[in-house]
Amino acid sequence: MTAMLPFALAVLALLAVPGPTNTLLATSGAAIGMRRSLKLVLAELGGYWLAIGILIQIVGPLAAHHPIVPILSKIVASAYLAWSALALWRNAAREAAPGGEPISVRRVFVTTLLNPKALIFAFAIFPAGDWATLLPFAGLFTALVVGVACAWIALGSGLSRSAAGFATPARVARLAAVALVLFASVIASSAIAAALS
């Protein structure tokens, strides 16, 4: 059990870093508030668990024999983030209107499923072992994801209330779109560098 503390700290550190999913959670908090955004937490959790399972069970073994697999994974993730940014930017005024629903459960799920953080969780943070060994770590991971996701939603909601004149939901959505483009660019650059090496 002594490995639980370093695991928890590593998970917290990675989850707290701004990323594509956190950007969407904060945007939703700013647009529709904490309570109405809570359903997105389950979408994030489902996305991470599906991604981690696929990475550990399928992608890891495939990547060991086919180096193109991680490159293609990064390209797909980058393309989805760029598309999501474009949709968020175009629909910022309409979707982020008070009472609207700017961020869908599906968007958070797919963004999390393609989030590069899942790679780090699967291959660097989760310990190796059978499912029985991983069960306590899985429970702790679940609790931490829920807590940090709620914090990002609360941050967006608080930002929207405290800076009402400047941080309008539409502006937060557009800022989130810019952040998603940056994340997509970093992932695409990584894929290109890996392909050229």
Q: Is 12 among the domain residues?
A: no
Q: Is 65 among the domain residues?
A: yes
Q: Is 142 among the domain residues?
A: yes
Average pLDDT over residues 12-34: 87
Q: Is 147 among the domain residues?
A: yes
Range of the domain at 168: 20-196
Residues with Cβ within 8 Å of 116's Cβ and at least 6 positions away in sequence, in order, are: 19, 74, 77, 187
Q: Is 177 among the domain residues?
A: yes
Q: Is 15 among the domain residues?
A: no
Domain count, the chain: 1
Q: Is 149 among the domain residues?
A: yes
Residues with Cβ within 8 Å of 80's Cβ and at least 6 positions away in sequence, in order, are: 110, 111, 114
Residues with Cβ within 8 Å of 182's Cβ and at least 6 positions away in sequence, in order, are: none
Q: Is 184 among the domain residues?
A: yes
Question: 1: pLDDT confidence band, cut at 50, 70 and 90?
Answer: very low
pLDDT digits (tens, 9 = 90+) for 164-194: 556 666 776 777 778 778 877 887 887 788 7
What's the whole-model pTM score?
0.75
pLDDT digits (tens, 9 = 90+) for 64-87: 788 887 788 778 878 877 887 787
Phi and psi at 103, nearest 5°, equal -120, 120
